[in-house]
Structure 1
Amino acid sequence: MMLKRLLLLLKPITVFSPPSHTNPQILQFLENRRKVHHDAINFCQAILQKKSIEWKAVHRNNLSQPINDVDLVITLGGDGTLLQASHLMDDKIPVLGVNSDPTQIDEVEEFGSEFDAHRSTGHLCAATVENFEQVLDGILEGQIVPSELTRIVMSVNALHLPTFALNDILISHPCPASLSRFSFRSSGLRVSTATGSTAAMQSAGGFPMPILSQDLQYMVREPISPGATSDHMHGLIKPDQTIVATWTCRKGVIYIDGSHINHTIKAGDIIEISSKAPVLKVLLPHQL
């Protein structure tokens, strides 16, 4: 792959100001996480400079426009940074995730009884500082090529929403304790891609799917309709199929890949969901 220009999308380096009574071990752990992430940024930038590749670094919170005019996006952070990048990308530019702060098993074992010592989740990240140069060389030499991940496209009253979901969507009432109403009564409808099938969908009782599957998985959350059967409450949406539902509550929200991106809906809105979105080209870890 010819790489003339790269975009480095960075998870911001957090400066912590915790209360004075915070456990010193937690403070040290958080400061170490900040330093490891900072060092990873410097390391990756040095490798790109060494290979004479032009790059521009942007903190993910400062990027709001679609990503264009680059040959590759490299996200430095974890899955969250790659996920945020995906919302600004079409199917033309590939993305490489670099886990800048991987979890250390010895830390989890040492501090597990005192606090959560897990670091960054990098399920979709093909590189860390340990193998970044090797992975980059593989991309340059054409030995490592991107995979195409399915995304979800949604429309409300025949108008497409501008954001494609890489993981999942949830359609529900804004108040979690309230019932949602389509043609059934429940606490909502969740639809996931294969990428998101190991996250909230699996936690809710769904099943993991092969990462390159083009199917979507849907599940009605907590159905209470009389006569509701599991055959209609959980299943797959094939690539040539579309779910069409009418929202009948006064208020509703479509949550896209979590709570940060959402779209409000109202009674009478017709929602269409399918996998006909542009794919996302991701350089995946070998094990995926």
Structure 2
Amino acid sequence: MSKKRLLLLMKPFNHMGDLSRVTNPKVLSHMESRHKVHMDAVNFCQDILQRKSIEWEFLPHKSLSQPIRDVEMVITIGGDGTLLHASHFMDDSIPILGVNSDPTQVEEVEKFKDEYDARRSTGYLCAATVKNFEQVLDEILDGCKSPSALTRILISVNGQPLPHLALNDILVAHPCPASVSQFSFRIAMDDKSCSALVNCRSSGLRVCTAAGSTAAMSSAGGFPMSILSQDLQFMVREPIPHGASDSSLVHGLVKFDQSMQAIWYSKEGRIYIDGSQIFHSLQHGDAIRVSPRAPVLKIFLPQHFCLDTSRM
């Protein structure tokens, strides 16, 4: 087997820092269990890699600050958040494998549902856990498993592309969630309008990829998309009605050959990218362009996604 250089990224377990405030002994036990399970998974994956003819490097994901280069694959150990963080430093040349280090246990959630939230990590995009990590890794190294290409969102402000691509979604909103956001947008193709101008006063605008369509978008009333769809889905959040309302104007799709062009009319604003950690500040009059024509993310998907896409 030829040597392959891998980058192994681990999420830091931040939940342990507040244990002094935890008074419920069952919650405390749950948090300590999560920490142990996560660290055991990190050690397990490193032990597996040690036994392979593989050159690899270990890096805490918070230490990642520069684009990832000169590796043949990235492995993240944590959950979807760790994978999302790594994706912001990756182009379309390197595949990524997510290992869910602490999967939710259905029996545990059911047992403690009346006492506390016992959910662990969802790992929606993670193709492996401790149970099948070596099998999935061997399939990849032997060329039996290929990565899929997930659409990401390219965002430009005043003609300048932002440095981060969104794998899940973006939220364009006022920094204060209680404030009204004011903006206009339309859908365009080759810079020619193909929809009416929509003038909005609302709590913001969300745009998601297919990968992000089952997250916040779904909770807000959107619909799940096929994981390999190249379209984007948008929704105006909590629009303030003005005259006759048309739901097709505030919720719909941006096709792969289209873009969304918006103007921000509030004094302040932010574009949040895949959560709250990465954002770009906006000012009155800023022009925003959102497009699905971004470099894709090559990712090894969980088996159930592969079964679904094989039927397409």
What displacement does 1:16 show? 3.9
Q: Which moved more, 1:178-187 or 1:20-29?
A: 20-29
1: CA distance between counterparts of 2:203 and 2:144?
A: 46
Q: Report the CA distance between 1:22 and its aligned residue.
A: 1.3
Matched to 2:212, the amino acid is G
Cα deviation per residue 1:115-159 (whole Å; 9 max; x = unaligned)?
A: 111111111111011000000010011111100000000100000
Distance 1:269 1:181, change over 3 A: same
CA distance in 1, matches of 2:2, 2:224: 35
Question: What's the counterpart of residue 6 of structure 1?
Answer: 6
Which residue in the other structure is 1:84 paired with? 85
Note if 1:212 corresponds to 2:213: no
Q: Give the drift of 1:202.
A: 0.6
State the Cα distance separating 1:6 from its structure 2 match. 0.6
What's the CA shift for 1:13? Answer: 3.4
Aligned to 2:295: 278
Q: Name the CA shift for 1:21/1:221 in 2 (closer, same or farther; >3 Å).
A: closer
Aligned to 1:262: 279
Report what 2:204 is aligned to: 188
Q: Distance in 1 between matches of 2:22 and 2:76?
A: 35
Secondary structure of the 2:233 match is strand
Structure 1 residue 19: deviation in Å?
Answer: 2.9
Q: 2:22, 2:171 → 1: CA distance?
A: 38
Output the CA distance in 1 between the equivalents of 2:175 and 2:248: 27
The residue number in structure 1 matching 2:237 is: 221
User: Aligned-pair RMSD on alpha carbons?
Assistant: 1.4
Partner of 1:251: 268
Corresponding position of 2:193: none
Q: Please say if residues 2 and 53 of structure 2, whose CA atoms lie closer than 8 Å, have aligned partners that are also in contact.
A: no
Gaps of 5+ in 2: 185-198, 306-312
Structure 1 runs of 4+ off > 4 angstroms?
none
Q: Aligned partners of 1:213, 1:20: CA distance in 2, in Å?
A: 44
Q: Which residue of 1 aligns with 2:75?
A: 74
Tell me which residue corresponds to 1:123: 124
Letter in 1 for 2:61: R
8 Å contact from structure 1 (residues 3, 140) kept in 2 = no
CA deviation profile, 1:173-225 (whole Å, cap 9, x unmatched)? 11112211113222211100000000000111100000000000011112223
Instruction: State the distance in 2 between where 1:275 and 1:79 align.
Output: 21
d(CA) in 1 for partners of 2:144 and 2:21? Answer: 51
Cα shift readout 1:231-269 (whole Å, capped 9, x = no counterpart): 111110001101111111111111111111110111111
Task: Check conservation: 1:3, 1:71, Cα contact below 8 A.
Answer: no
Single out whichever of 30-39 and 91-100 deviates more from structure 2. 30-39
Are residue 134 (structure 1) and residue 150 (structure 2) matched?
no
Residue of structure 2 aligned with 1:197, choices 204, 213, 218: 213
Q: Provide the identity percentage.
A: 64
Q: State the distance in 2 between where 1:65 and 1:218 align.
A: 30
Count of residue pairs the alignment pairs up: 288
- Indicate the SS of the match to 2:303: coil
- Residue 155 of structure 1 aligns to a residue whose secondary structure is strand
Are 1:126 and 1:285, in contact at CA under 8 Å, matched by a contact in 2? yes
**TM, length-normalised to structure 2:** 0.89
Counterpart-to-counterpart distance in 1, 2:209 and 2:154: 11
Supply the distance in 1 between the matched residues of 2:210 and 2:61 (Cα, whole angstroms). Answer: 25
Secondary structure in structure 1 of the residue aligned to 2:19: coil
Q: What's the CA shift for 1:24?
A: 1.5
Q: Which runs of 5+ in 1 are unaligned?
A: none
Residue 112 (structure 1) aligned with residue 113 (structure 2): yes
